Homo-oligomer: A and B are copies of this chain.
Amino acid sequence: TKRYSITILPGDGIGPETISVAKDVLKLIGSLEGIEFGFQEMPLGGSALDLTGVPLPDETLLAAKQSNAVLLGAIGGYKWDNNPKHLKPEMGLLQLREGLKVFANLRPATVLPQLVDSSTLKKEVAEGVDLMVVRELTGGIYFGKPRGIGTNENGEEIGFNTEVYASYEIDRIARVGFEIARKRNKKLCSVDKANVLEASMFWRDRVTAIASEYPDVELSHMYVDNAAMQLVRNPKQFDTILTNNIFGDILSDEASMITGGIGMLPSASLGASGPGLFEPIHGSAPDIAGQDKANPLATILSVAMLLKYGLGEENAAKRIENAVLDTLDKGFRTGDIYSAGNKLVGCKEMGEEVLKSV
């Protein structure tokens, strides 16, 4: 039997609840597919702060690095909102991404036929949306230096950050973008602000250069302000979107809201080698934490991404995806995706229903 070690980071808020359900799904699929999973649970974010005083303990990063894949719930909560920057839960996530060198963040935004009514977009605009945002995750203004709060040459106080991309950083994320597009509908739209920013002009040049390696993929370029509009006007025009860290942060969240099912959307963060990081794109939802109300499907679908992109177990991934669709077909809904005529269930019951359908 194949064996994989999985680091589990339940995190904060609803994280532990959805993770517990997703772990059961992973165990079941393992027994059905003849795969053995070893699990190690480690603290991250707010819970790590409470326990150890830092948002990413060394032990957590080490365990993550030594495993085959990392599954994360969610982090953050009111309790730590006023902490100084280096003691915020989010910092743990940023450090983890950096530590694992997972530079490629894949964020699908899919409107499932069963949930098309959850979108605030008109049905004819929302139905059939199936796009993937490929976001650069370990560079750009998130990590660029110099940065800080200081004084300029006129003695005025300033806050400053640096948006910077080196050629190798653009080349490798561009290749991920082209590879993903190649497996989808072969259309890659690179989003930048090349009419204003040099960092974007350079980005556009490098992406265009890499395109010659992928003659079967159609490359287009779009300014970020236009992309933010086009996602609302006609999201179906997009297949794969390639963009930098900050634009990807904004556009992937916009795209996820367009699907109406933010409680449904998983993500994968991959490096050149080593374990990938898999997590739902929703947050820790402290307002409903501990109430068995969370939608576990995004975390369960993150498990599917873990199997597909992290371990190459496409078959097991497909079974989980199908089990989620079956469960929706049977009418089970958590509160966030509930509509009349369906059956309202909690986090645990939703998980049990998915288990039945695997």
Interface residues of A (CB under 8 A from B): 85, 88, 90, 94, 120-122, 125, 141-142, 144, 147-149, 152, 154, 156-168, 193, 195-203, 224-226, 228-234, 246-247, 249-254, 256-258, 262
Contacts and interface: CB of A to CB of B under 8 A. Distances in A.
Contact of A256 (B158, B229, B246): B229
B160 A198 contact: yes
Give the interface SS of chain A, mostly helix, strand, loop or mixed. Answer: helix
A202 B90 contact: no
Contact of A159 (B94, B203, B230, B257): B203
A202 B167 contact: no
A159 B165 contact: yes
Contacts of A253: 225-226, 228-229
B196 A168 contact: no
A163 B161 contact: yes
Given A156-B166, A160-B163, A160-B199, 16 more contacts: A120-B122, A120-B125, A121-B121, A149-B201, A157-B202, A159-B164, A159-B199, A159-B202, A160-B198, A161-B164, A161-B199, A224-B250, A225-B249, A229-B257, A229-B262, A230-B257
A144 B164 CA distance: 13
Nearest to A249: B225
A88 B195 contact: yes
A227 to B, nearest CB: 8
Nearest to A254: B228
Contacts of A148: 198
Given A163-B163, A232-B258, A196 B158 contact: no
Nearest to A126: B120
Contacts of A147: 197-199
